[in-house]
Amino acid sequence: MKSYEIRHLYLDFFKEKGHSVVPGSGLIPFDDPTLLFTSAGMVQFKKFWATDTPLSYPRATTCQKCLRAGGKDSDIDKIGITGRHHTFFEMLGNFSFGDYFKKEAIEWAWEFVLEHLKIPAGYIWVSYYEKDDETKEIWKKFLPVERIVPLSDKDNFWGPAGETGVCGPCTELYIDTGIKKGCSSGCRPGCECGRFLEFWNLVFPQYDKQTDGTLLPLKRRGVDTGMGLERITRIMQNAPSNYETDLFLPIIKKIEDISGCSYDKDEKKKPSFRITADHIRAAVFLIDENVLPSNEGRGYVLRRIIRRAEMAGADLDIKEPFLH
Ligand code: GLY
């Protein structure tokens, strides 16, 4: 299945379930001084949970451009190393603002994964917040209890995006990529070895985190999910990492043409290919929103991204400027 087909399948599925299909917002958050960049699908909706003013829709679904390259949510140091992290990526999401809650969010996630993506149930594991028994009970309808794993707030309490605001317990869906990929026979979701690939996070926003760390109840509780398009595409295309998918292979091919290096034949050069391919996407989408390289703020993040991509290019023996 092509990546664009997955985008459409997701948005159409949630439209059928009564969600408004809303355009993703820009990478520069509108009217939100707490964030450098849009780091999740929920960013444009933060106020919907925090106020009780009437809304034009109680459910929404989006495909959101995200950037995790500066501030608390930055993944920049993992790029190229893991094969599953990005600075720029797309997040598919469904949202409820004081409308449906855990039961529907989990049942629809299960329905989408099994009946529409057609991933066999035997490959799926989930994690949940260790104090959230309600979520565990819902998952027990679908999965044996050994594949429902409790994790602490470090893994299964999401948010806020930035330092303050909307947050809550979450439950994550993982695909088991096979015992041979694991670090030990006891390896489970939560382990960083890479055997279990997390691809969908279902968050249940319930709290508004204050600057002093206090968690106040939100005016509207709800649902905020995030499925990484690059990760689900990797799963659907049975690729060894996010980079061997239709979202990245054309860029990697172009880097091969420019550098004369081979992505498949030279394992040691793979991280440099991946960094370049990841960072060029981030740079293009930032420049598209009028961010230009500079010495501070967003412009500095862009400068750092371009500098790192140039350095990765140098590792691929590229001697001339090439990112343009
Ligand atoms: N807001 C859900 C996520 O970023 O995973």
Tokens of 296: 């501070």
Percent helix, strand and coil across the chain, each to the nearest 5: 40, 20, 40
301 lies in which domain range?
248-315
Q: Is the pLDDT of residue 71 over 80?
A: no
The confidence score (pLDDT) of residue 5 equals 98
Percent residues over pLDDT 90 in the chain:
88
Nearest atom in ligand 1 to the alpha carbon of residue 225 is 2
Query: Is 321 inside any structural domain?
Result: no
- Same domain? For 195 and 76 the reply is yes
Chain-wide mean pLDDT for the chain? 95
Query: Is 63 inside any structural domain?
Result: yes
- Same domain? For 28 and 148 the reply is yes
| Rounded Cα–Cα distance for residues 159 and 207 (Å) | 10
The residues facing 172 across adjacent strands are 127, 201
pLDDT-based confidence at 287, cuts 50/70/90? very high
The confidence score (pLDDT) of residue 178 equals 86
- Same domain? For 232 and 258 the reply is no
Query: Which of 180, 210, 236 corresponds to the end of one domain?
Result: 236
Q: Is the pLDDT of residue 254 over 80?
A: yes
Under DSSP, is residue 260 helix (H, G, I), strand (E, B) or coil? Answer: coil
Ligand 1 pocket check for 158: Cβ under 6 Å: yes
- Same domain? For 173 and 293 the reply is no
pLDDT-based confidence at 81, cuts 50/70/90? confident
Q: Is the pLDDT of residue 72 over 80?
A: no
Q: Which of 70, 118, 115, 111 is nearest to 94 (CA)?
A: 111
Least confident range from 50-59, 62-71, 177-186, 235-244: namely 177-186
pLDDT-based confidence at 279, cuts 50/70/90? very high
Q: Give the model confidence (pLDDT) of 83-122 as tens digits.
A: 899 999 999 999 999 999 999 999 999 999 999 999 999 9
Tokens of 103: 């039961």
Q: What is the pTM of this model?
A: 0.95
| Rounded Cα–Cα distance for residues 279 and 305 (Å) | 6
pLDDT-based confidence at 301, cuts 50/70/90? very high
- Same domain? For 253 and 221 the reply is no
Nearest atom in ligand 1 to the alpha carbon of residue 39 is 4
Q: Is the pLDDT of residue 232 over 90?
A: yes
The CATH code of the domain that includes 20 is 3.30.930.10
- Same domain? For 32 and 174 the reply is yes
The confidence score (pLDDT) of residue 75 equals 85
Q: What CA–CA distances, in Å, run from 110 to 70, 91, 113, 141, 158?
A: 33, 18, 5, 11, 20
Query: Is 242 inside any structural domain?
Result: no
Quote the DSSP letter at residue 57.
Answer: -
Ligand 1 pocket check for 42: Cβ under 6 Å: yes
Pocket test for ligand 1, best of 67, 201, 223, 227 (most atoms within 8 A of CB): 201
